C-alpha cells in the first residue's frame, strides 16, 4: 500500500500518486544539468559574512609574514619582459584578486601577472624562486577556504588568459585544455560532441579547471563519475623552480613509473602550478529525472539510499539530502523558493537519474518509488516533469548556503563521515548550540558521505565559535571522518590537518613540500600548517 | 537490412538473426563474471617460454648487484624474533618464490619472511634498512614483468599470511582488508552483500590485492569502474625505514592535504610496502550479456565501439577486440576452443553489458545490434544465452596468451595508444617481421585503448628480438602511446621508461624514490632505471 501520497499537480511537479503518467523526458544536452552561478557574487558586501570593510587576513588571523623578498623595480622590469602588457600593478584593478567572494580573507598583493603560456609560467616561477619571492596561483577564485587569495604581498599568477582548448578526441572523449578554461565552457564544448564533463559544481560559471584539479573539487557528479584522481588522465604543471613537469597523457592506461600527476591533484598549488590538464569525458546521458521525497526520520533516508543503489543502479547520478531546517531557512529568506511538497517532513531526499534510454530510466525510477513508498521509508514526493521543474528542485538544494547568510553570520563545515553517522553530528551540534545559535542545518551529498553542516548567528560570535571549534573537528576525528570532504584546507583549515591525517602521512606531506618547493614560494600559508 | 546473418543456434550462442528471442538472464552473482586461473600455472616448464632450466636473471640479463649487505646469522636471529616460525630458509621451499610463473626471471634469495601484521612488516623493514639489506615485497607473484621476484639475494617479504578482511560497510560498499587477500576471495566476499569488486583479471584466483594496488592493475572492469587511482579509498603502507603510513581512509571524499596514498598505487613496492587497503565496491549488477561479433575491417571495429558507447551507455562493461590471427592460434593449439561464428572475419569484437535490469539491458543490446548490423559495420555475431556460453566466449579471448606460447617463444607487448591508432602498430610490426616471425597477433581492451601485441618464433631468436625492440617502443612513443599500459615496468621494462615519460616527470620520480627510500632497499632493480 502506498501511504501518505498527496496530490500537488499544480505545484511544480507530479505527485507520486500520479507519477506513472509523467511524460518521457528526452532532454537536449544544454538542459541536462542545472547551471548556477555561485550565489555569493550577487550579494552586497554588507550581507556577506557581516563585514563591509574587510580586515586584512594577516591582521584578522594574526599571521606572521614568511621571510620572503619584497618585489623591487628590477623584478617588475623582469616580469614586464616575460608577460608584456599582462602585468598589473594598479591597486584598484588588483583589489578583486586580493579578496575571495565569501569575503573571509583579504591579501595585499601589489603585482598580478597574466601569463598565456606554460613557458611564461615557467619563466615567472624561475625568477621568483631565484629571488625568493612568494606567489599565489589563482584560477576563478571561487574557493571556500581562502586558498586562492594572497595572505600578504604574494605575487598573483592568474590563469585567466590560459583558456585554450587544445584537443578533444571524439572517439575516447579525452579533452585536453589549458588550466584557465572555465568549467562550464568545457562542459558546453564537450556536449556538442556528445560527452559530459565528469565534474559539475555551483561555481561552474566562474571556476577554472586548473583550480578544480588543484583543489580536487568534488561536486554534484562525483557519485556517478568518481573523483578527479580517476578522471584526470594527465596534468602539466610547473614546479617552484620553473621546471615543467609534462604528465599530460591522454591515455586511459599508462603504468610507466610513478603516477606523479596525482601529486598536483588536490595540493592547492603548493607543489606546482597546473598549466594544462587532460580529462576523460564520459558519454553524455540522453535522459534525466529528478525526484524530491519526504522522509520521517534519518534511518528512512539511509534505507532509501540503499534501495536507490540497488534499484537505480547504474543510472543513479545524485543522492542528496536536506533536513527540514534547510527548507525553513530557504522559505524564510528567499522570495519564491518553496518546498515542492505540501506537507513538512523532518528530512528530504533529492534523487537524480541520468541514462541512455529515457523509457528505461522512467521505468526503473517508477519501480523504485513504488518500492520505497510501499515500504513506507518514503512518505511523499514529487517527480519533476520538465527542465524548469528540475531546475527549481535543484535550486532549492543549491540555494541553502545563500539563504543561511541572511541570518547574519554563517559558520560553515564540510565534513565526510561514514554514511550512517552523518546526521548524528548535526544533532550533537544542534543540542550543543541550542542556546546561542540562530539555527543549525544539515544537508549534503549523502551518496558520497559528505555533510554540509552550517550554523548561524546574528553576527560573528566568538563564544559560539569557541563552542563549535575544535569540538566539531574532535567529534569528526573520533568518528573517523574528514574535516574537509571537498573544500580543501586552503588558509582557513590548514591548522586542523592532524584531526584527519595520521602523523606518518603528515610527515610525508611535509617532506613532499620540502622536496618539490624547497624555498616554500608556492602558495605559502596554505594547506599545511606553518612551514615557511 | 541486416546483412550476413548466419544461424548457428547449435554452436554456443544465438544467431543475431534470432537474437530477439533470447531469454532474459537473471544471473546469480557467483556466475556474473568468468573466473579464470592464470593460464600459465598448468603448463609444464618445457612449454612455457621454451626454457626448462632457467638461467638466473642476473646472468641472463647481465645485471650488476647493488652494494647491499649480505644476510648474516645475526640477521636471521633477528628475523626469527620478529616472525617466529614464519621465516623460511629452505632452498626448495623458497624456489617457487624465486621464479615467476612466466619463467622469464629467476632470483637467488635465501630468506623468505611471512609477516602477519603491519607491525611485523615495520620491524622487518626497519632492521633491513639499518643493515642495508635489500628486500622484495611479494604478493601472489602473478606479474608479467618480473616485478615481484628477487634479482639477486633480496629478502622476500610475502603477504601470504596477511589475508584478513577487516571490514565491509554494507551501506557504502567500502571494503577494508590486509594486502595479502586474494582478489577472487574478495570478490566472492563482497558479492554476498550485493557488491562487486571493481577489479577483475585473469590471475584473480592467485593475485593479492596488495600486488594489484602496487602495480595499479587494470583488467577487465576498468572500462566500467575506472582505475584503482579512483576506486582505492585508502592505503596503509610501510616505508623503507619502517615508518607506517596510515592513509587507510574509508571515506569517499577527503581533501585534507596531499593524497599520499596515490604514491603507493602503481609504484611496484619501490616506495613502500602496501600492508592494507580500502576499496569502494559498486553495487553488483544483476544481469550480464555477452555478444561476439565479426567485422570486415578495423574501421568498422572503431565505428562499432562508438555506437556501443552511445547506445549501451551506462551498461557497457567490456569492449574487447581480437584479430583473425588470434582465432587461428587458439584453434590450432587448444583442443575444443573454437570461434562461435561459422564464417571467418578479419576482426572480432567481444561486448559485455551488465546492469540492474535484465530486460532493459537486453532491449538496449538488441537496439544496438540492429543498428550496427543494418549499418553494415558488423557482419555477423552471436549473443550468449547462458553462463556456460558466456564463459566459453570469454575463454576464447582469455586463452589467446596461452595458445601463443605453444608456438615456441612469445614476445609480449602491452601498449596504450590513441584508439584509432591501435591496430596500425600490429600492421607495421607484421610487415616488419613477416620473414622471421611465426605470427603476429593483436587483441586487447579496445575500450581502454590497450593493445596486447604478441609475436612468436619457434625458439628465442636474438635477431628477431632486435627487429622488435627498440623499434616498437620508438613507434609507440612517436604516436604518443605508453609502452606499458597495465603490466607495469617491473624488471623487464624499467630501462624503457623514457619512451613514455618526459625528462621532467622522470627526474621527479627519481627524487621521489630518493626521498622515500634513500638506501634503495625496496625492490631494487625494478621500475626505475639503475639507481642503486
Fold observed for domain B407-500: Alpha-Beta Plaits (3.30.70)
Which pLDDT value is given to residue A531? 60
- CB-CB neighbours of B387 under 10 Å: 18
Q: At residue B5, does pLDDT exceed 70?
A: no
pLDDT digits (tens, 9 = 90+) for B73-104: 999 999 999 999 999 999 999 999 999 988 88
- The predicted-structure confidence for B416-434, as pLDDT tens digits, reads as follows 999 999 999 999 999 999 9
Mean predicted confidence (pLDDT) in B293-322: 96
Shortest CA distance from B217: residue in chain A: A255
pLDDT of the residue at B531:
60
For the cut 90, the answer to whether the pLDDT of residue B3 exceeds it is: no
Residues in B 166-195 with any Cβ partner in A closer than 8 A = 169, 171-172, 194
Region of residue A46 (phi > 0: left; psi between -120 and 50: alpha; otherwise: beta): alpha
User: Which residues of B fall within a CB distance of 8 Å from A215?
Assistant: 255
Nearest CB to B419: which of A171, A497, A500? A171
Low-confidence ranges of chain A (pLDDT < 70): 1-52, 385, 531-532
Phi, psi (deg, nearest 5) at residue A516: -90, -20
Mean pLDDT in chain B? 89
For residue A425, the model assigns a pLDDT of 98
What's the CATH number for A408-487?
Answer: 3.30.70.2740
Nearest-CA residue of chain A relative to B266? A258
Q: What pLDDT is attached to residue A101?
A: 82
Which one of B216, B310, B502 has the shortest CB-CB distance to A255?
B216
ipTM given for this complex: 0.90
| Contact assessment for residue A282 and residue A225, using Cβ atoms and an 8 Å cutoff | yes
Helix (H, G, I), strand (E, B) or coil at B484: strand
**B14 within 8 A of B369, measured Cβ to Cβ:** no
Short-list A120, A117, A147, CA closest to A269: A147
CA angle, A440 as apex, A439 and A442 as ends, to 5°?
A: 145
Which residues 388-417 of B have a C-beta within 8 angstroms of A? 416-417
> B161-280 adopts what CATH topology?
3.30.465
Strand-pairing partners, residue B283, are: B195
CA B213, CA B248: separation in Å to the nearest integer? 13
In whole angstroms, what is the distance from residue B74 CA to residue A71 CA? 60
Radius of gyration of chain A (CA): 23
How far, in Å, CA of A32 to CA of A372, rounded?
26
Cα pseudo-dihedral B399, B400, B401, B402, rounded to 10: 50
Class of domain A50-158: alpha beta
Is A440 strand, coil or helix? strand
Interatomic CA distance for residues B530 and B67, integer angstroms: 12
The pLDDT score that the predictor gives to residue B23 is: 27
pLDDT at residue B413, as a whole number? 95
Q: Give A237 to chain B, closest Cα distance, Å.
A: 10
Check CB contact under 8 Å for B508 and A262: no
What's the whole-model pTM score? 0.91
Q: Is B363 on the interface with A (CB under 8 A)?
A: yes
Cβ separation of A512 and B227 shorter than 8 Å?
A: no
Selecting from A244, A483, A507 the residue whose C-beta is nearest the C-beta of B256 gives A483
Whole-number pLDDT of residue B53: 73
Residue ranges of A 322-361 with Cβ closer than 8 A to chain B = 355-357, 360
Chain A residues lying within 8 Å of B501, measured CB to CB? 247, 256-257
Q: Tens of pLDDT along B186-199?
A: 999 999 999 999 99
Locate B112 and state its grid cell. Answer: 623468505
Q: If you count residue pairs, one on A and one on B, with CB atoms under 8 Å apart, how many are there?
A: 281
Q: Residue A118's closest CA among A76, A65, A174, A176? A: A176
Nearest to A260 among B257, B259, B505 (CB): B505
Give the minimum alpha-carbon distance from A248 to chain B in angstroms, rounded to a whole number: 10
Q: How far is CA B344 from CA B38, B350, B426, in A?
A: 28, 15, 19
- Rg of chain B, C-alpha, whole Å: 23
DSSP string, B143-187: -SSS-SS-SSSPEEEE-TT---EEEE-TTT-EEEEETT-BHHHHH
- Nearest Cα of chain A lies from the Cα of B190 at a distance, in angstroms, of 14
How far is B479 from A404, CA to CA, in rounded Å? 53
Query: Is residue B36 scored above 70 in pLDDT?
Result: no
Q: How many CB atoms lie within 10 A of CB A368?
A: 24
Q: Report yes or no: B265 at the A interface, CB cutoff 8 Å.
A: yes
Torsions phi, psi for B181 (to 5 deg):
-65, 140
Contact between B216 and B414 under an 8 Å Cβ cutoff? The reply is no
Q: Is B481 on the interface with A (CB under 8 A)?
A: yes
Q: Do B485 and A251 touch (CB under 8 A)?
A: yes
CB A478 within 8 A of CB B248: no
Q: What pLDDT sits at residue B47?
A: 33
Does A313 touch chain B if contact means CB atoms closer than 8 Å?
A: yes
Chain A residues whose beta carbon lies within 8 Å of the beta carbon of residue B245? 502, 504-505, 508
A510 touches chain B (CB under 8 A): no
CATH 3.40.50.150, domain B49-158, yes or no: no
pLDDT of residue A202: 84
pLDDT of residue B374: 97
Q: What is the pLDDT of residues B473-484, one digit of tens each?
A: 999 999 999 999
Residues of A in contact with B235 (CB under 8 A): none
Q: With respect to CATH, is domain A163-280 assigned 3.30.465.10?
A: yes
CA-based nearest distance A88→chain B, Å: 31
Three-state DSSP class for A511?
helix
Q: How many CA atoms lie within 13 A of A485 on its CB side?
A: 29
| Minimum distance, in Å, between the CA of residue B420 and any CA atom of chain A | 8
Q: Sketch the domain layout of chain B as residue ranges.
A: 9-26+286-401, 49-158, 161-280, 407-500
**How far, in Å, CA of B325 to CA of A133, rounded?**
61
Are A253 and B222 a contacting pair at CB < 8 A? yes
Q: Measured between CB atoms, does B510 come within 8 Å of chain A?
A: no
Nearest to A509 among B250, B257, B480 (CB): B257
Residue closest to A309 by CA, chosen among A351, A338, A340, A341? A351
Using the predicted structure, report yes or no on whether residue B532 has a pLDDT greater than 60: no
Question: What are the pLDDT digits (tens) for B286-303?
Answer: 999 999 999 999 999 999
The SS3 assignment for A98 reads: helix
Chain B residue numbers touching A252 (CB-CB < 8 A): 222, 227, 416, 448-450
Report the residue of chain B nearest A355, measured CA to CA: B314
* Coil vs helix vs strand at A412: strand
Q: Does residue B504 sit at the A interface (CB-CB below 8 Å)?
A: yes
Q: Helix or strand or coil: residue B70?
A: coil
Cβ–Cβ below 8 Å for A253 and B448:
yes
Residue B135 φ/ψ, nearest 5 degrees: -130, 155
Interface contact A281, partner B, CB < 8 A: no
pLDDT at B42: 32
Cross-chain Cβ contact A482/B251 below 8 Å: yes
Question: Cell 552523518 identifies what position?
Answer: A422
Same-fold call for B49-158 versus B407-500: no
Q: Which fold has domain B9-26+286-401?
A: Alpha-Beta Plaits (3.30.70)
What is the Cα–Cα distance from B240 to B234, expressed in whole angstroms? Answer: 19
Sign of CA dihedral A476, A478, A480, A482: positive
How far apart are the CA of B52 and the nearest CA of chain A, in angstroms? 30
Sheet containing strand B14-15, edge to edge, reads B14-15, B380-383, B287-295, B347-355, B316-323, B439-445, B450-457, B409-416
- Residue length, chain B? 532
- In B, which residues are within 8 Å of A480 by CB distance? 250-251
| Cell representation of residue A220 | 554534484
Q: What is the reported pLDDT for A376?
A: 97
- Cβ separation A505–B194 shorter than 8 A: no
CB B324 within 8 A of CB B231: no
CA proximity to A8, closest of A384, A377, A396, A378 = A384
What pLDDT is attached to residue A14? 38
Between A253, A485, A489, which is nearest B257 by CB? A489
Long-range Cβ pairs for the range A92-95 (8 Å, 24+): A94/A156
Site of grid cell 518509488: A369
CATH label, A9-22+286-401, candidates 3.40.50.720, 3.40.50.360, 3.30.70.3170, 3.30.70.2190: 3.30.70.2190
Amino acid at each position: 500500500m502506498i501511504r501518505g501520497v498527496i496530490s500537488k499537480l499544480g505545484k511544480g511537479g507530479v505527485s507520486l500518486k500520479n507519477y506513472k503518467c509523467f511524460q518521457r523526458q528526452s532532454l537536449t544536452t544544454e538542459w541536462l544539468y542545472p547551471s548556477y552561478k555561485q550565489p555569493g557574487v550577487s550579494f552586497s558586501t554588507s550581507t556577506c559574512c557581516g563585514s563591509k570593510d574587510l580586515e586584512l587576513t594577516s591582521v584578522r588571523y594574526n599571521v606572521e609574514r614568511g621571510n620572503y623578498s619584497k618585489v623591487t623595480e628590477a623584478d617588475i622590469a623582469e616580469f614586464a619582459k616575460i608577460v608584456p602588457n599582462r602585468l598589473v600593478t594598479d591597486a584598484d584593478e588588483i583589489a578583486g584578486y586580493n579578496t575571495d567572494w565569501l569575503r573571509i580573507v583579504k591579501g595585499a598583493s601589489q603585482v598580478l601577472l597574466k601569463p598565456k603560456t606554460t613557458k611564461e609560467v615557467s619563466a615567472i616561477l624561475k625568477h621568483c624562486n631565484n629571488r625568493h619571492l612568494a606567489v599565489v596561483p589563482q584560477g576563478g577564485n571561487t574557493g571556500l577556504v581562502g586558498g586562492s587569495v594572497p595572505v600578504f604581498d604574494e605575487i598573483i599568477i592568474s590563469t585567466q588568459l590560459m583558456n585554450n582548448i587544445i584537443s578533444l578526441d571524439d572517439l575516447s572523449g579525452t579533452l585536453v585544455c589549458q588550466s584557465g578554461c572555465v568549467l562550464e565552457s568545457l562542459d558546453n564544448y564537450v556536449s556538442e560532441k556528445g560527452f559530459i564533463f565528469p565534474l559539475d559544481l555551483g561555481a561552474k560559471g566562474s571556476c577554472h579547471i586548473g583550480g578544480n584539479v588543484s583543489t580536487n573539487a568534488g561536486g554534484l557528479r562525483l557519485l556517478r563519475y568518481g573523483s578527479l584522481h580517476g578522471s584526470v588522465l594527465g596534468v602539466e604543471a610547473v614546479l617552484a623552480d620553473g621546471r615543467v613537469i609534462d604528465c599530460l597523457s591522454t591515455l586511459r592506461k599508462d603504468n610507466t613509473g610513478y603516477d606523479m600527476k596525482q601529486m598536483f591533484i588536490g595540493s592547492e598549488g603548493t607543489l606546482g602550478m597546473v598549466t594544462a590538464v587532460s580529462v576523460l569525458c564520459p558519454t553524455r546521458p540522453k535522459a534525466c529525472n529528478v525526484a524530491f521525497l519526504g522522509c520521517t526520520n534519518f534511518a528512512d533516508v539511509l534505507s532509501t539510499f540503499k534501495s536507490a543503489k540497488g534499484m537505480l543502479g547504474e543510472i543513479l547520478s545524485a543522492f542528496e539530502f536536506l533536513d527540514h531546517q534547510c527548507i525553513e531557512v530557504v522559505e524564510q529568506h528567499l522570495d519564491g523558493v518553496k518546498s515542492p511538497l505540501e506537507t513538512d517532513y523532518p528530512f528530504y531526499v533529492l534523487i537524480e537519474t541520468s541514462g541512455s534510454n529515457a523509457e528505461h530510466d522512467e521505468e526503473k525510477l517508477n519501480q523504485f518509488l513504488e518500492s520505497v513508498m510501499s515500504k513506507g521509508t518514503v512518505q511523499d514526493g514529487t517527480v519533476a516533469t520538465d527542465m524548469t521543474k528540475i531546475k527549481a528542485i535543484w535550486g532549492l538544494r543549491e540555494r541553502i548556503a545563500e539563504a543561511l547568510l541572511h541570518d547574519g553570520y554563517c559558520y560553515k563545515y564540510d565534513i565526510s563521515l561514514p554514511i550512517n553517522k552523518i546526521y548524528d553530528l548535526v544533532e550533537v551540534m544542534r543540542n550543543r548550540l541550542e542556546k546561542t545559535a540562530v539555527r543549525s542545518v544539515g544537508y549534503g551529498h549523502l551518496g558520497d558521505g559528505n555533510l554540509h553542516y552550517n550554523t548561524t548567528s546574528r553576527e560573528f560570535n566568538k563564544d559560539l565559535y569557541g563552542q563549535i571549534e575544535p569540538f566539531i573537528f574532535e567529534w569528526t576525528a573520533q568518528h573517523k571522518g574528514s574535516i574537509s570532504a571537498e573544500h580543501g584546507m586552503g588558509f582557513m583549515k590548514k591548522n586542523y590537518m592532524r584531526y584527519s591525517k595520521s602523523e606518518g602521512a603528515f610527515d610525508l606531506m611535509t617532506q613532499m613540500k620540502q622536496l618539490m618547493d624547497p624555498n616554500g614560494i608556492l602558495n605559502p600559508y596554505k594547506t599545511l600548517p606553518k612551514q615557511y
